[in-house]
Structure 1
Amino acid sequence: MISWKHSFNRLNEEFEMANKKKQALDNLFETGRISQTTHDAFNNDIHAVIMEIEKQQDTLLAKMQNTTQELDGQVKILESLLTNYEIQHAVGEIEEDIYQSEIHLLSNGLETAKRELSKIKDAVSQLTPPVEPPTVETPIDTILQ
């Protein structure tokens, strides 16, 4: 489950570095220290690097979304098992020591899956730009009523 973290951090660092290089290049051009031709040549290289990073981010995002779906499924299964044990315990079908052992294992597994799911969702939200809801223009007459 942790394999995505290394790729996520590496891509973020590379993306940040490429953007810093782009800013430095633009600054050199704006201050007249390099020509348009030199700026364009370096800008094309930096743009190609940024495009490759974005492609890798998209691939990672797809993998992370698949992992999110898998973890959602695992959480549902663990919750179902936990519920089943709780019900069986409540009606006396399971001995106390077995109940305690199983509930402990299921609870730990459930919490671990939920934590990992939360981390992945946070990372996914960093890789995807926020979607702004469409704005609906309302006539002023409707607002005043």
Structure 2
Amino acid sequence: MGSWRESFETTIRELELANRKKEALRDLLDRNRMSRSTYDFLIRELEDEISRLRDHVRVLAKSMNERIGELHRQERLIEGFLAWLELMHVGGEIDDETYNHQMDIFTSGLDATRSEIKQIEEALRRIK
């Protein structure tokens, strides 16, 4: 689950910091605390960094959307297993203990899957 999270959070923090630096540079120039040539040099480097970070965010968003697709497939698969388990239990093919044990396992997996989908969707909303 966390493979996307750390990279996403780090990149977002770096992008926010770069944007604050850009604002600070503009403020320093406006208050005549920095020469235009120094500003131009620093802002060019900073804009390159911001562009690189935005590109990285786009790549991350793409992989996060792919992960959501994988998780939705996993969700459907688990739901299918749960339905099959219900059928087996109703048909008397498995006892109550086995049914309850398997139901707990599949339900936990389904909850974790749905939780990760929600977390990724919330993270993606932050960058739109």
- TM-score normalised by the shorter chain: which range applies? over 0.9
RMSD over aligned CA atoms reads 1.1
* Residue in 2 that maps onto 1:12: 12
Q: In the TM superposition, what is the alpha-carbon distance from 1:31 to its structure 2 partner?
A: 0.8
Q: Which residue of 2 aligns with 1:73?
A: 73
Alpha-carbon deviation of 1:12? Answer: 1.1
TM-score, length of structure 2 as denominator length:
0.94
Distance across 2 between alignment mates of 1:40 and 1:56: 24
Which shifted more, 35-44 or 6-15? 35-44
- Indicate the SS of the match to 1:32: coil
TM-score normalised by the chain length of structure 1: 0.84
Q: Alpha-carbon deviation of 1:102?
A: 0.9
Larger radius of gyration: 1
Select the structure that is richer in helix: 2
- Pairwise CA distance, 1:92: 2.4
Q: Secondary structure at the match of 1:25?
A: helix
Runs of 4+ in structure 1 off by over 4 angstroms are none
Matches within 5 A, 1:99-138: 99-127=99-127, 129=128
Counterpart CA distance in 2 for 1:34 and 1:19 is 18
| Alpha-carbon distance between aligned partners in 1 of 2:20 and 2:126, rounded to the nearest angstrom | 19
Separation in structure 2 between the aligned mates of residue 27 and residue 2 of structure 1, nearest angstrom: 37
